[in-house]
Amino acid sequence: MQNEIIVSGFGGQGVLFGGQLLAYTAMDHGLHVTWIPSYGPEMRGGTANCTVIIADEEIGSPLVRRPGAVIAMNKPSLDKYEQLVKPGGVLIVNTSMVDRSAEREDINVVSLPANDIAEQVGSSKSLNMVMVGALLSALPVFPLEAIIESMDIHTPERNKRFLPDNVKALRAGFNHSA
């Protein structure tokens, strides 16, 4: 088993943390993992993405050319990565920031208003967790509880106050797509 995932959006949307959480959960469960972040010089508002590979065997290369799953948190991400998803793969689209439908019919497209859902459950900053929850519903790499456990373990003490909203957001994204 090898899952190649790209998480993409603007800086400030939690793109890197979303991918990092998937990587931590894989490590916590004894799987092989790579996590490679990429972001522009702007702290917020510039483009950001990361690739995550989760496998039960050694990973030959950290490069992802044809991901099995893409999280597109904004329109530029959808425009850039939709055509790269391998046939039969999963594309998670944040319709709060994307004004077009996905064009591919040979992939599983999950569209959800992630910004709106995040605000409804308590914090617009939990957008990334809504998207990760939706991904796990469509691509069950781990049970939702495994992600929640890893988030609790790996969240620095200074950020623990955000855990309740992040857990609600994960569940809302998961349930929206179920």
pLDDT at 46: 65
Other Cβ atoms within 10 Å of 5 Cβ, number:
27
Q: Report the C-alpha gap between 154 and 8 in whole angstroms.
A: 21
Provide the 10 A C-beta neighbour count for residue 103.
Answer: 10
Q: For the chain, give the percent of residues with pLDDT over 70.
A: 95
Tens of pLDDT, residues 40-56: 665 555 678 899 999 99
Nearest-angstrom CA–CA distance, 14 and 127:
7
Predicted pLDDT at 14 = 80
DSSP 111-156: EE-HHHHHHHHT-GGGHHHHHHHHHHHHS-SS-HHHHHHHHHHHS-
pTM comes to 0.91
Residue 23 DSSP symbol: H
Reduce the secondary structure of 55-91 to three states and give it as a string: ECCCCCCCCCCCCCEEEECCHHHHHHHHHHCCCCCEE
pLDDT in tens, 118-154: 999 988 889 999 999 999 999 999 999 999 999 999 9
**Domains delineated in the chain:** 2-177 (3.40.920.10)
